[in-house]
A = this chain, B = another copy of it.
Amino acid sequence: MNLKELASSLGLSQTTVSRALNGYPEVNPETRARVEAAARAANYQPNSRARRLATGRAMTIGHVITHTGETEMVNPIFADFLAGAGEVYAREGYDLLLSIVHEGAAERAYRQMAANGSVDGVMVQGPRQEDPRIALLQELGLPFLVHGRTGDARGYNWLDIANLRAFRRATEFLLDLGHSRIALINGQEAMDFAARRRRGYEEALRARSITPDESLMYADVMTEGYGHRAAAQLLDRENRPTAFLVSSVISAIGVRQAAWERGLQLGRDVSIITHDDVLSYLNNDAEGPAFTATRSSIRLAGRRCAEILIERIKQPDAPFVHELWEAELMVGRSTGPAP
């Protein structure tokens, strides 16, 4: 059933039927009711391909997700971020176009989206320091929103969490407990968020006149195995750290495992604070084993990012939106006074 058939079955023109269904005001209420009833009865749905061509809008938002080079790892936080964003898209009538490519192919993916008009805007996640995607999208003139930020962040829309403050605060918390040898198990420091977290950690140490020790800092893709390896190395040193600051619950699980294997008890022999993205399948709440954590829901972030992006697509000339969220420090059972 298409518009033409529906219109002729009603004895009306396509124009009127189209207007009735799209809520235009200049339609007689009775006519509209009649049209709506017929459309429902026939289960009529306007053909989205035709509509998109006619309106010039794709009603689609692009997400380009890259997997990291060698390991081909897909960052698991994307699932929850997408769930949050997807909720909003569905509500607002937008489709979500997902492109999963190798890191090197991302530029081509964005260029293609811009040139062939398959999306109205794109979401950028996990920016690196001086990420080339931002300049590219500015050049292409495609509306976009960055989850995270980098460089001179005034010239585009972003939503970020206060990574530096969160990790400074977490480090201070450990210092207050008497820890002084605190290891940092960070994400790849080419990523902007990881660089900020490291700065927060170092600032807190310096403020207490502790010189940051490079040998206590690790940076890599945040898998469980990485957390385990890094912690194992650190814990087997003669002068081992008494506390760990970790960038992801997944890696923190590896760190915890390494501690257990050495007979060390969390919160007594060794302390862990992790950043917690509140992933739905790794809920770090009262029920399970609760890490002390800086916490900010990636899913809520996804939801809000989608809202902002859609607003910006509708009003391309509005001023840039910058939203900085604080992470809360949740004290769990993985921290305690330095031994």
Cβ contact within 8 Å between A74 and B79? yes
Number of interface residues of A (CB under 8 A): 65
Residue of B whose beta carbon sits closest to that of A102: B87
Known A53-B50, A288-B225: A87·B100 in contact at CB below 8 Å: yes
With A49-B49, A100-B90 known as contacts, the answer to whether A225 contacts B83 (CB < 8 A) is: no
| Interface check A283, CB cutoff 8 A | yes
| A125 close to B (CB within 8 Å) | no
Per-residue B-contact encoding for A81-109, CB less than 8 Å = 1, 0 else: 01100110010000111111100010000
Residues of B within 8 Å of A83, CB to CB, are 65, 67, 72, 74, 100
Output the nearest chain B residue to A282 by Cβ-Cβ distance. B224
Shortest Cβ gap from A141 to chain B (Å): 14
Cβ A281 vs Cβ B118 within 8 A = no
Residues on B with beta carbons closer than 8 Å to the beta carbon of A100: 82-83, 86-87, 90, 96
Question: Would you list the 5 A-B pairs with minimal beta carbon distance, nearest first?
Answer: A86-B100, A45-B115, A225-B288, A73-B280, A48-B116
Instruction: Decide if A228 is an interface residue (CB 8 Å cutoff).
Output: yes
A288: chain B residues at CB < 8 Å are 224-225, 228-229, 254, 257
Closest to A290 in B: B225
Q: Any chain B CB within 8 A of the CB of A222?
A: yes
A320 at the interface (CB under 8 A from B): no
8 Å CB contact of A74 from B72, B80, B115, B223: B80
Contacts of A46 in B (CB 8 A): 116
Q: Do B117 and A250 touch (CB < 8 A)? A: no
